[in-house]
Structure 1
């Protein structure tokens, strides 16, 4: 006999099948949608494979153990649902945990009943049965200086349609999206949206892990499936032994639903806010000046910094961050690790620079790449091998750097001492934590699989970050990894700011800035604004506009700028601070669709109950007209404070914009 379990949160309703087979999740809908009409796909809620219990397929669905799991019990409250299943031949017990936030957060816990053990090679965080694969998939490529490149694919185009009847097999293909290595977003984002092509229904998800992850789609006889997972054996050389006393928990994932792409990203925005650990200091949301982009580029000295500090204070920056190079004596890439100030760059000591920042009532910040030790650094000889990621007993060395293993007490002590010293000695209130070296597949130290060693290190890194912020509650930390190569919500659920790119060309930064809210909260999206002195007014304005719809991350040679250029910077900061007042309540939408890398016109709306901010970029030279499907509103220029050669008019419920500038240009409008 089939029973349906319907668990409802304030936002979502999840429907499960409980019968004499494995538990199945057959519907994820908005809580307000009526019950009934749910399909009954055959896809199990949990897929699990183990040594000696594998299956002959590239895809992770259809596992032997997954099909043999049987419902044991469930416990539910208003905020949490736990469904327990067991597989009697192996003693495997899995618990699927669902946590109500703005959407739903889920993960899987596994252990063994009684004696014995099991070597897991794959365990899903969540598997959802799909009634149909007639849908469009939105996913994003992500690479250094070319982040957030969204695209749309029809799922049927990548999953072969073959004969399906009792005498023929269903296609065994899959569409897989995989993140590898320690750069969780080094190639693709762990975020996706599936939009049904026949009904107003869309499903969104994110995998919340600062290391390897995997999701895949496939077809079965009664529909299809979406599987969300952390590391696996097949993709990441991951396995782990579980026993009654040594359980395992997967990485968490989040689910939301909507009617279209924009409503799903609005729901993901609310979910990200719900899972984020927000401290009182995070409410400050300062404007940070950083000396790197299009400015000093890793070559700071006292002589170069002092006039920049004065100029940053004059335009109204709140924090001043000294970026890479402050520790460098000559070639520094493979000598880092001690994190002591250079004596040649700062003849009177770094304190002279830091004191100037304090004198201007700004908070000093500093760049640090904590997870690496240069192979030529004296610290490399002082720390034991246990402090580093190793393979077969040898330290992992990547591009002249050893990689610290944050499970090691010696590694953590070294980093704690470094951070505490910089905070105590200089009053550092902001760290830009960078990460420019990938780990490879992991470490087998302690007899673990490579992938599980990396997973344990990833989790130890999160624990280390939590401990820092507990010791230093007024410290803000920026998350950076060669730009946005580790832009995930394991990191961002606990850190203040995300560098969205290392891109230095303002025209190329526009699609990165515009698409950033699909991956990261607007109030965490550190979009560089680095105007270049001597450029035209439109070029100068364009660079500033890139930073306004998010967290404007200011850079540029302010000390070389003309009075008119500095006035424009001040005007941009005033406009940005007005956005900051509302930013933590705004949700993104894209009136022209998610931006493509080569689009001439790009539009991002940040919408609230009473006010919206519409940012428009026109990247082609010469006049152009664009029509945006936006309800009629009271509209005013926000930045610049006049539209210049741009005009607008309402045509029913559409906004017609005319850009009459002879060169690329950008504007921010305020709508009420």
Structure 2
């Protein structure tokens, strides 16, 4: 790892295997020069050709190129990194290079614009072990007049001379999140974004660019934006073959006022470099676990009562579920929606965060004590950013929601979004949550958000800041989380937004896990979880075993299939255990014991996607740690008499010998010849542990033989 300058005002940021090179060009422009495999010698970087093409009067007189910073107003026509207007009407930028600042892990290139009297620091922070570079900008108003920013992206960079470039990104919907899309990069512009006020189910702030990459090799450039509000990623290719990338906070309906000497630092966009998709995921997963996520500890097996009781929550009913959950080996018991206010359905009570005394006559304390006596931790569901019209909170403060004068107030799921940008609303939520956690021995909070924004307006005394509300909401949310974690450092948090509507590295830095989707059908989940793994790690991914037939689609599959599907991440149980048979409870206990044994490998091991589930192909996920390799496999639908599927393992030591049930096989054999599983029923599930022969073995009994 190194950060240094070579001849020609060229700056180099190196990781273990990656190098990012930027050149200060004519008129102080930051020309993107190189992003790729680390070069062995400094003079290699000096020898890199100038990526500038001179053309015509219809292009910049400085030439056509890609840039690490694109100001508005010059002959640059891609998405601007920064766009603003000063109070006197000046809206053009003409930045000049000032200086560089370097530390062991960070490079800042400082630019100054004399027209709007603004200083910008373009920042590169290297995380060498993961070949990831964090990109952000710092904007300071050095003048006397206020400046209003209308675009402030976190990064810009380029690619050049890469035909057949493909963009990978996520698309989806509620109960159908994280469907990875692959689209060719062609002349023109592609934008993926959220304008919903939240990260969204429909897209996610992650991308990957590759030419001919596979799971096992090929150059991949990818990025994660650490932000939970409106965001955008742009990919723009011109006729010269230049591809300009940029991303950050969405400029749609955005502005931010900077008075004299005020600063804005954009959220970080993490850009990574990898050799193939497996390598990309391994580095991204490790980076998230080691750098982003708050805790290194393993996640417990939880039980959540939502699908068992819905809003019909009572102390006696929850106690019965506690007994059953403890009996099968759960470690955390979570009471979901319905414990507070007049919350008998989703039509009322949201916002009135006091315990319903009809449901809990003596408050939550007796139930919490009972949970702890059974050896479980206690968790609770909340949705603090929302309010029902039928609530004491809304009746007292109807002006606390986002709304516009004379406009109809749109309810969705019978609720409104509270305006966290109002200091009194932020204070209310912080004090309510602090009081809840202070009064009760709560170990875990599931923080939900079940709708997107509408009527994005603010009170009439703040109309000059209408377009700041998007960022102010996220800023307040982060401050609340940060303060709650400071006040209650032992409490864990889960991020949920009707499933996967708020999953990004910004919220992940403040929560221990996320709820991936409200879809708990195990077969649908296999596809969601497979694509999710390209960007995000297994430890953060909460997966539940629920009842069959499934609530969403009526499909019924064996309990073993439901467990093996959910064991691909952090295991949870969400079924109505009071309706499970004695045999089902016993089987569940066995699967939970199995998961607890393999948990270190699942949650911290390297994950390999061996086969993606369809009706014709199995789901096979491999997790490998120093201690063992775990295979979680689910067979496809039986068709035309087929009853076997074959796969090859990855990432093993070729010379090492491994115990595979009753056989000893080399890593080379397992990776080159592979294994064949037989199955006799549709969606038959397998969990197989493979361990180096020199280690103590704890073999899982399997009914099927390996061919």
Same fold, TM exceeding 0.5?
yes
Contact 2:446 2:493 survives alignment (8 Å): yes
Using the TM superposition, give the Cα deviation of residue 45 of structure 1 relative to its aligned residue in structure 2, in angstroms: 1.1
Give the aligned partner of residue 145 of structure 1.
175
CA distances 1:404-456 after superposition (whole Å, capped 9, x unpaired)? 23343322332233323332333121111110021237444523554421111
CA distance change for structure 1 residues 70 and 505 in 2, over 3 Å: closer, same or farther? same
Q: Does 1:490 align with 2:513?
A: no
Aligned to 1:224: 242
Moved more, 529-538 or 507-516: 529-538
User: Greater RCO between the two (CA within 8 Å, min separation 6)?
Assistant: 1
Q: CA deviation at 1:309?
A: 0.8
Aligned counterparts, 1:645-656, within 5 A: 653-656=672-675
Please, what is the CA RMSD of the aligned residues? 3.3
Once the two structures are overlaid, the 10-residue window that deviates more, 494-503 or 69-78, is 69-78
SS of residue matched to 2:26? coil
Q: Identify the residue that residue 73 of structure 1 maps to in structure 2.
A: 99
1:210 Cα shift? 0.4
Question: Is contact 2:200-2:502 (8 Å) kept?
Answer: yes
Residues 465 and 524 (structure 1 numbering): CA distance in 2 closer, same or farther, change over 3 Å?
same
SS of the residue corresponding to residue 546 of structure 1 reads helix
> Which residue matches 2:432?
418
**Partner residue in 2 for 1:300:** 313
The CA deviation at 1:596 is: 7.0
In the superposition, relative to structure 1, how do residues 448 and 606 fare at CA in structure 2: closer, same or farther (>3 Å)? Answer: farther
2:233 alignment partner in structure 1: 215
CA-to-partner distance for each residue in 1:70-121, whole Å, 9 max, x for gaps?
A: 3221111111111112233333322111222231111111123333343332
1:506 and 1:73 map into 2 onto residues whose CA distance is 55
Structure 2, gaps ≥5 residues long = 1-6, 52-64, 85-90, 692-707
Instruction: Compute the displacement of 1:356 (Å).
Output: 2.3
Per the alignment, residue 564 of structure 2 pairs with 545
Relative distance call for 1:25 and 1:57 in structure 2 (3 A) is: closer
CA distance in 1 between counterparts of 2:505 and 2:464 reads: 25
Corresponding residue number in structure 1 for 2:211:
196
CA contact 1:213–1:229 (8 Å) conserved in 2: yes
Task: Count how many residue pairs are aligned between Structure 1 and Structure 2.
Answer: 637
Secondary structure of 1:456 counterpart = helix
Assess, with a 3 A threshold, how the Cα gap between structure 1 residues 579 and 48 changes in structure 2: closer, same or farther: farther
| Counterpart-to-counterpart distance in 2, 1:197 and 1:152 | 12
Q: 2:426 and 2:93 mapped to 1: Cα distance?
A: 42
Q: Tell me the distance in 2 between the aligned counterparts of 1:358 and 1:4.
A: 60
Contact 1:9 1:78 in 2 (8 A): no
1:401 to 415, 418, 427: 415
Corresponding position of 1:168: none
The offset of 1:542, in angstroms, is: 0.7
8 Å Cα contact 2:293/2:512 also seen in 1: no
Over 3 Å counting, the alpha-carbon distance change for 1:395 and 1:460 in structure 2 is farther
Task: With the length of structure 2 as denominator, give the TM-score of the two structures.
Answer: 0.82
Deviation at 1:226, TM superposition (A): 4.1
2:689 corresponds in structure 1 to 670
Report if aligned partners of 1:150, 1:596 keep a CA contact under 8 Å in 2. no
Deviation at 1:548, TM superposition (A): 1.2
Task: Between 538-547 and 323-332, report the one with greater CA deviation.
Answer: 323-332
1:373 aligns to what?
Answer: 387
Q: Structure 2: how far apart are the matches of 1:7 and 1:497?
A: 32
Query: What secondary structure sits across from 1:419 in the alignment?
Result: helix
Please give the alpha-carbon distance, in whole angstroms, between the structure 1 residues aligned to 2:259 and 2:534: 40
In the alignment, is the contact (CA less than 8 A) between 1:39 and 1:131 conserved in 2? Answer: no
- On the 8 A contact 1:617/1:665 being kept in 2, the answer is yes
Q: Give the C-alpha shift of residue 55 in structure 1.
A: 8.4
- State the 1:31 CA deviation: 4.0
Distance of aligned partners of 1:458 and 1:585 in 2 relative to their CA distance in 1, 3 Å threshold: same
* Structure 1 counterpart SS, 2:190: strand
- Deviating more after overlay: 126-135 vs 387-396: 387-396
**TM-score (norm: length of structure 1):** 0.86
Q: Secondary structure of the residue that 2:520 maps to in structure 1?
A: coil
Structure 1 636/415 Cα, relative in aligned 2: closer, same or farther at 3 Å? farther
- Which whole-Å CA distance do the structure 2 matches of 1:18 and 1:225 have between them? 19
Question: For the residues of structure 1 that align with 2:555 and 2:411, how far apart are their CA atoms?
Answer: 42
Distance 1:61 1:132 in 2: 23
The alpha carbon displacement at 1:348 in A equals: 5.5
Secondary structure class of the residue paired with 1:491: helix
Instruction: Within 5 Å, give how 1:37-116 maps onto structure 2.
Output: 38=48, 40-41=50-51, 42-49=65-72, 53=73, 59-60=79-80, 68-101=94-127, 102=130, 103-116=132-145
Q: Rate the CA distance shift 1:243–1:351 in 2: closer, same or farther, 3 A.
A: closer
Give the Cα–Cα distance (whole angstroms) in 2 for the partners of residues 47 and 459 of structure 1. 25
Task: Tell me which residue corresponds to 2:695.
Answer: none
Structure 1 runs not aligned, ≥5 long: 161-172, 644-648
Mean alpha-carbon deviation: is it higher for 490-499 or for 375-384? 375-384
* 8 A Cα contact 2:648 2:670, kept in partner: no
- Shift in Å at residue 152 of structure 1? 1.9
1:119 to 139, 148, 153: 148
Asked if the contact 2:521–2:555 (Cα under 8 Å) also holds between the matched residues in 1, the reply is: no
Equivalent position to 1:261, from 238, 257, 277: 277
Shift of 1:44: 2.0
SS in 1 for 2:489: coil
Are positions 1:612 and 2:625 aligned together? no
Q: Is the 8 A contact 2:500 2:517 kept in 1?
A: yes
Q: Distance in 2 between matches of 1:265 and 1:6?
A: 25
Structure 2 distance, partners of 1:428, 1:653, is: 50
Shift in Å at residue 540 of structure 1? 0.6
CA distance in 1, matches of 2:678, 2:49: 49
Closer/same/farther in 2, CA of residues 105 and 66 from structure 1, 3 Å limit: farther
